[in-house]
Amino acid sequence: MRPGPKPLYGITMTPAERQARYRSSLAQAGPKPHCRKPIDRRSRPRRWRDAVTELLTLQDDYQMWLDALPESLMDSSTAEALRLVCDLDLSELESIEPPRGFGRD
């Protein structure tokens, strides 16, 4: 016969006692949260259009930030980064229409 697990603290437990101890430890720990990433059910073309819209909105926000920057900060690295973002030409992205997929062209 195969020897069982070594007793905890020198006390031999029956399988029912081990199961009860296990279940009580689970009850004390509480439920484990199961976090799943929500499924994005939008089509790829829809996701593309939403991403382009978000980029254009962010670019407008950065332009407002640059316009509101005090004169003393116009030569700073922050202002330079804002200018680089604002100078990007995102108009080409708006005109791109991604393919719809196999058999739907």
Q: What is the DSSP string of 16-49?
A: HHHHHHHHHHHHHH-PPP---PPP--S-HHHHHH
Residue 58 CB partners (closer than 8 Å, separation 6+): 85
Of 44, 21, 37, the closest CA to residue 99 belongs to 44
pLDDT tens digits, one per residue of 4-38:
666 667 778 888 988 998 888 888 877 778 888 88
Domain ranges of the chain: 44-95
Let me know how long the chain is.
105
pLDDT tens digits, one per residue of 47-85:
999 999 999 999 999 999 999 999 999 999 999 999 999
Q: End-to-end CA distance of the chain, in Å?
A: 69
